Amino acid sequence: MYKNLPLSIRAAALAATTLASASPLLATEPAGPGIRLNTVGYLPEVAKTATVVGADKADRFAVIDSATGKIVLKGKLGESFDSPQTGETARLLDFGKLNKEGSYILQVPGLPDSAPFSISDEALNHSLENIMVGFYGQRCGEAVEFEWDGDTFAYDACHLDDAWLDYLEPEKAGEKKVSTGGWHDAGDYGKYTVNASFASAMMLQAWERRSEALESLELPFIPEHGGELPDFLDEIKFNLDWLITMQTENGEVAHKLTTLYFGGMVLPAEIDAKRYFTPTSKLATLDFAAVGCIAARVFRPFDAEYADTWLAAAKKAWDAAKEMSETPEDTSMFHTGGYMTSTDSDYRWALIEIRLAFGAEALSEMEGYIFKDAVDNDNRMVDVAWDWGRGYNLGLYSWLFSEEAKKDPAALERLELDLLSAADVIVRNSAEHAYGRGIRAYQWGSSGVLARSVMTLHAAHELTGEQKYLDSAYDQISYLYGRNPFGRSFVTGDGFQPPQFPHHRPSEGDQVEKPWPGHVIGGANPGELDWFDETGSYRTNETAINWDAALSYALAVFYQP
């Protein structure tokens, strides 16, 4: 939108648009009458459902082979029903009988043809590769360059002075500690311990559940490609190698590393403002401890020394966190992302991971009681919808699939039933929603919350083998790739008419017309039709690594080597 403006005024122009009160943004229009489906494609064995709007007089549908133009399947549309979230009348189109690989379109008399889609065992493989190139494109501290879909995306090495100690250790004002690397967090260039830990943990758990498939995932665009580690782990390790530098000598962990104010909508190397460590926080220290335990678990077969380094850092952080105040130190001088909330949930996450890593003897008597309650109580444990600040769910997944949990079969059974109860809510919500969406809330980062629900559904499928959980998981992915009121993909660089103007500084700061690929945008907020494909809409169109990480897990479930 502002790519043709001189760099000197681009940032100011963009800043003006982000002030919604001064310049209201126009909501993206729903697609109108038509057929909405997963525009990337379907695996042969999953349920295949599209949503039809405006088929008041039609009763039948046909599936057309794109290569031959011939009808390969005919069927009857479902009954009409109202969609209160969008004010539409919709009908479902079930073409699950079609399992043959190929490229197709759907037709309903009186409506435009659907977007083309494929049926293939590898239908989502490219989508996972797209998300992973998105992570590579978030790298800080080194030059980035890759080709994607005919375009070259690049920026110079950035933030090589990370970071100044003025606010972390005031007695060392004017001095630096090396903390280069890691991923830029979102549409901005900050690096935040809480979200970096959360995102890395989801991806590490994807490896724990799907390593047999992910070990063959090739990412030729990363410099480490062809090395000793699988590419998927190499990309995560790039972030972890930065994250460990956020720990101080006493074990506490700096909350974030940013400038004092958000920079302009330019490429990262063009921002020369100083970047500082903030003071430490208990939340960041707990999350660091939790992800450190998972990292040690995952990397031990490949690099025992690296695993030991993380295990020692995690234990040091855990011990430090126990002495820290719930009230964080003053960070009011920083006008960047907050990532601050209660530590209750993430304390339980860290507690479970420490118990798994070091055994029951590592816990005090009181910690033992809290741990027992964390993995075995009569209240809801697994959340239906959750985001950063609710890391307890990650701890429950770690415990659920551990050998340690099997030592108490009765408690494990209760946890399994609790997870299945949460999964059943998602399945039921999905079945009742016109577009198969299993999460009812629309909030900041609603796309990430939706993608994250696949973690629960996948766990339910692993426990039971019931196809309904896998089908519902695919429905959540389908919503993000076009089976939604807009008929568009919510992921840059992938699917039908993906977002064009994300709130993402590299996308606005370079000279390439397309945005950088591999990012799921935040999504509708606060209602299902409240999406703004505008750079200024950070509320609905920003990107963030925790949303991308959730989608990477979801896509990994269906990745086929």
Catalytic site residue 542? yes
Angle at 497 between CA 496 and CA 499, to 5 degrees: 125
Catalytic site residue 548? no
Contacts 24+ apart (CB under 8 A), 464-470: 464/420, 467/47, 468/427, 469/423, 469/427, 470/46, 470/557
Backbone torsions φ then ψ of 139, nearest 5 degrees: -65, 140
Q: Is residue 518 part of a domain?
A: no
Q: Is residue 202 part of a domain?
A: yes
| pLDDT value at 53 more than 70 | yes
State percent of the chain over pLDDT 90: 94
| pLDDT value at 4 more than 50 | no
pLDDT in tens, 255-264: 999 999 999 9
Cα separation, 209 vs 459, in Å, equals 9
Cα separation, 534 vs 332, in Å, equals 29
Residues with Cβ < 8 Å from 548, sequence gap 6 or more?
A: 131, 134, 135, 199, 448, 518, 519, 520
Q: Is residue 263 part of a domain?
A: yes
Question: What is the separation, in whole angstroms, between the first and last Cα of the chain?
Answer: 39
Q: Is residue 143 part of a domain?
A: yes
The catalytic position among 184, 458, 461, 503 is: 503
The catalytic position among 88, 533, 534, 548 is: 533
| pLDDT value at 8 more than 60 | no
Cα separation, 559 vs 121, in Å, equals 8
Confidence of residue 18 (pLDDT cuts 50, 70, 90): very low
CB–CB of 558/43 below 8 Å? Answer: yes
| pLDDT value at 19 more than 60 | no
Catalytic site residue 504? no
Q: Is residue 17 part of a domain?
A: no
| pLDDT value at 20 more than 50 | no
Tokens 């339910």 appear where?
A: 460
Q: By C-alpha distance, which of 496, 509, 497, 561 is closest to 535?
A: 509
Confidence of residue 1 (pLDDT cuts 50, 70, 90): very low
Cα separation, 22 vs 271, in Å, equals 26
Lowest mean pLDDT, pick from 17-26, 374-383, 469-478: 17-26
Average predicted confidence (pLDDT) for the chain: 95
DSSP string, 350-397: HHHHHHHHH-GGGS-HHHHHHHHHHHS-SS--S-SS--TT-THHHHHH
Angle at 490 between CA 31 and CA 62, to 5 degrees: 50
- Which pLDDT score, from 0 to 100, does residue 24 have? 66
- Which pLDDT score, from 0 to 100, does residue 35 have? 98
DSSP string, 162-221: --B-TTTSGGGTT-B-----SB--BSS--EEHHHHHHHHHHHHHHHHHHHHHHTT---TT
Confidence of residue 520 (pLDDT cuts 50, 70, 90): very high
Confidence of residue 517 (pLDDT cuts 50, 70, 90): very high
Q: Where are the alpha helices (DSSP H) in 485-544?
A: 505-509, 538-541
The DSSP secondary-structure symbol of 333 reads T
Torsion over CA: 266, 268, 271, 276 (sign): positive
pTM over 0.85: yes
The DSSP secondary-structure symbol of 108 reads -
C-alpha pair distances (Å), 353 with each of 307, 313, 360: 14, 13, 11
What's the whole-number mean pLDDT along residues 89-115? 97
What is the domain count for the chain? Answer: 1
The catalytic position among 188, 353, 418, 548 is: 188
Angle at 245 between CA 244 and CA 251, to 5 degrees: 75
Q: By C-alpha distance, which of 533, 525, 546 is closest to 499?
A: 533
Q: Is residue 440 part of a domain?
A: yes
Strands 256-258 and 276-277, by their bridges, are antiparallel
- Which pLDDT score, from 0 to 100, does residue 191 have? 98
- Which pLDDT score, from 0 to 100, does residue 56 have? 86
Q: By C-alpha distance, which of 238, 200, 206 is closest to 221?
A: 238
- Which pLDDT score, from 0 to 100, does residue 27 have? 78
State percent of the chain over pLDDT 70: 96
pLDDT in tens, 353-402: 999 999 999 999 999 999 999 999 988 999 999 999 999 999 999 999 99
CATH number, domain with residue 267: 1.50.10.10
What tokens does 207 get? Answer: 């490896």
What's the whole-number mean pLDDT along residues 528-552? 97
Catalytic site residue 188? yes
What's the whole-number mean pLDDT along residues 298-317? 98
Q: Is residue 152 part of a domain?
A: yes
- Domain coverage including residue 206: 125-484+540-557
Lowest mean pLDDT, pick from 4-8, 275-279, 388-392, 485-489: 4-8
> What b-and-e string marks burial along 17-44, b requiring 16 or more CB atoms within 10 Å of the CB?
bbeeeeeebebbebbeebbbbbbbbbbe
| pLDDT value at 51 more than 80 | yes
The DSSP secondary-structure symbol of 103 reads E
Angle at 62 between CA 56 and CA 67, to 5 degrees: 140
Q: Is residue 339 part of a domain?
A: yes
| pLDDT value at 6 more than 90 | no
What's the whole-number mean pLDDT along residues 155-178? 98
Angle at 49 between CA 498 and CA 110, to 5 degrees: 80
